Amino acid sequence: MSLTQSKFAFDLSSVELPECDQQLVDELTGFKEFGTKTICETISHNGVPVSVFVNEFWTSRQRAGHSLHEVSYRACFKPQLPKFFIDRLTVEGDLVLDPFLGRGTTALESVLLNRRAAGTDVSPLSTVLTTPRLNPPSIDEVRTRLDQIDLKTKTKTREDLLTFYHADTLREIGSLRSYLTERNGNGDHVDAWIRMVATNRLTGHSPGFFSVYTLPPNQAVTIDRQKLINAKRNQTPEYRDVKKIILKKSRSLLKDITAENQASFAQFGSAQLITGSADSMKSIESDSVSLVVTSPPFLNVVQYATDNWLRCWFNGIDADSVPIWKYTSVKKWSNAMTGVFKELARVLKPGGHVAFEVGEVRNGEVRLEDHVIPAAQKADLAPVLVLVNAQEFTKTANCWGIDNKTKGTNTNRVVVLRCDK
């Protein structure tokens, strides 16, 4: 059964939208940049009709995002997603906010597009990963600084980490960690960059990481689990040159930077990045934000603290003290999102928008967009539309989980809201 056959079908022809919203609706309706026609549906929430648009609005066939985005983090979206909405719902100089900052995709894309950026996240790792990429050094600056750092000194470190690292590599990691700890508060943008790259290179599944073969860099396993991996693969950690790996990754991250990018960093790179909760962003002024683009934590699907324990260790962060939101029930999740939406309504300009990316959880049995809209309405945010970016689909039912006999589709599901105050 498709949505048009369901009890939620409405006729939107008589619904009047602000000009900006109507332009977006018209563009989505006629969108066929990648050869597919948009499927248009309508659903209702609390008696309010909401348009649903299903198509391939951004695609893996597009040119990859800027090289600066190539920092691994669990559950992050592609830069094409924030770019899609930033291009259409803001102008240069506007302030774009991500209240669940993560690795900083929205903030970086905003600055690259000559917008001001703000963001918050309960994990201090977010600023570690984001800030350096908004003010990147040159490769020569990185090389010079690495030459100045002595990684041969013996420092006290965790012997159990020899499960991941060769003894000489662990000594170098420990020395770098001690150097960065001593420089904390006195370091510059080059030190911050080196910290960010090293954090991203701690573990992985190729010689481009400091560790022996393990899970991808966005998911650190426990020491006991790594022992099992080592035994199964009959492997022991080989020496990895920490400086060479940092320099190589730096070269890769910096390769796309242009003179235009440098001008953007100079003008907009001083973003307002906060370590804190999304429902209490007191340092962000009321009526200052033009657009919010974000993706919230889903129903305890991703174990952020567990995945990032090694990154936290390297950066001197107590992973257990980070107040990561973990909600196992839809009701508790919805209540938390209502608190976030009330705060977003405060900081948004009148007529500002929210692009709130959610996903299918529990094998498609729960569609969080069905809970986002009521939560937003409680905060007086008006639903504009739901955009489903489907990389592979044949009919709406498959994208929406109706009669869905598969494990889901490769989709982004974005609820667009408007602040009417």
Instruction: Give 57-87 pLDDT, tens digit per residue.
Output: 987 655 568 999 999 887 678 899 999 999 9
Average pLDDT, the chain: 87
pLDDT tens per residue, range 269-293: 999 999 999 999 999 999 999 999 9
pLDDT at 408: 39
pLDDT tens per residue, range 159-194: 999 999 999 999 999 999 999 999 877 779 999 999
Q: Which amino acid is at 242?
A: V
pLDDT at 308: 87
pLDDT tens per residue, range 113-164: 999 999 999 999 999 999 999 999 999 999 999 999 999 887 888 999 999 9
pLDDT at 395: 41
Tokens coding 261 = 């990018």
Per-domain residue ranges of the chain:
3-123+270-302+323-419, 137-254
Confidence bin at 5 (pLDDT 50/70/90):
very low
State which fold the 3-123+270-302+323-419 domain adopts: Rossmann fold (3.40.50)
